[in-house]
Amino acid sequence: MLAESAATPSPGATPNVLILTPLKDARHHLHRYVENLEAIEYPRQYLSVGLLESDSRDDTWIALQALLPRLQARCRRVTVIKRDFNFRLPPGVPRWTTAFQRVRRSVLARSRNQLLFRSLQDEDWVLWLDVDVVSYPSGLIRQLLGFDLDILHPHCVQAPGGPTFDRNGWADHGRKLLEDFRGANKPVRLDAVGATILLVKADCHRDGLIFPPFPYGRPSELIRPANGFCGAGEIESEGLGVLAQDMGYQCWGLPDLEVLHAPD
């Protein structure tokens, strides 16, 4: 008889959750990030955290080391990784500048994948949590787990009731964002997702669900003509959403459950 997988919790058991956060030039967000983790309502023995710092110009790595004892007191396991990709935007250039989007998000996808592969152990769920998400309900993990959906994210805004901030989560070929579904009071189907806060069943990642560091779904001259793709493809979290559906998983969003992102 095959032993039950460690990643399959017994009925009624508390799931193990791994929070993953990529870091870059994040020193000024780290204290609030740790404070929010300390306030989240989830038992320490079922909560782990993984952080990967890369290419920072500030002292993010030093600040993270100083906060490590608090993280270790809050979580059963803490994984801290240093991995530089030698990519920095020119000084004064905003991160959303169009000319740098593809390379910036490709590097972000690679950092997320490194973090995932090097941190995931026996967890049942992965919660992607950006360091600059500054406010969310203390019961958020249990709220999200309660829906038991493979891929789910709340509505990231910069002000309560304001426009959608994380515009990587969309439906209808990008024509509908979570703000367009307000009042649904239930999960809505999405074709792509953002990763400011994103809950993913860990077995989806184990099955091969990653953040594509290249435009997923693009045409390729290497494929056989009969198997051709269409479209230009999607990258990073949007690519993950498209890949997920190709793997048979549905993406969902919660338009009426808001989390707050720091101002730009």
pLDDT tens digits along 125-171: 999 999 999 999 999 999 999 999 999 999 999 999 999 999 999 99
| Mean pLDDT of all residues in 171-184 | 97
Q: Percent of the chain beyond pLDDT 90?
A: 81
Q: Torsion-angle region of residue 256: left (phi > 0), alpha (psi -120 to 50) or beta?
A: alpha
Strand partners, 188: 253
- Give the residue extent of every domain in the chain: 17-210+249-261
Computed over its alpha carbons, how large is the radius of gyration of the chain? 18
Q: Residue 99: what pLDDT?
A: 58
Instruction: Report the DSSP pairing between strands 197-201 and 125-129.
Output: antiparallel
| Mean pLDDT of all residues in 34-53 | 98
Task: Summarize pLDDT for 12-37 with one digit per residue, the tens.
Answer: 799 999 999 999 999 999 999 999 99
Q: Is 255 exposed, middle or buried (0-12, 13-18, 19+ CB in 10 A)?
A: buried
Among residues 138, 182, 174, 175, the alpha carbon closest in space to that of 157 is found at 182
What is the overall mean pLDDT for the chain? Answer: 91
Residue 88 has pLDDT above 70, yes or no: yes
Query: Token pair of 253, please?
Result: 């969003």
Query: Token pair of 69, please?
Result: 């004892």
Task: Summarize pLDDT for 191-220 with one digit per residue, the tens.
Answer: 999 999 999 999 999 999 999 999 998 777
Which overall architecture, per CATH, does domain 17-210+249-261 show? Alpha-Beta Complex (3.90)
Q: Residue 136: what pLDDT?
A: 98
Query: Token pair of 37, please?
Result: 């983790």
Cα separation, 116 vs 206, in Å, equals: 10
Concatenated DSSP letters of 102-150: HHHHHHHHHHHHHHHHHH-SS-SEEEEE-TTEEE--TTHHHHHHTT--S
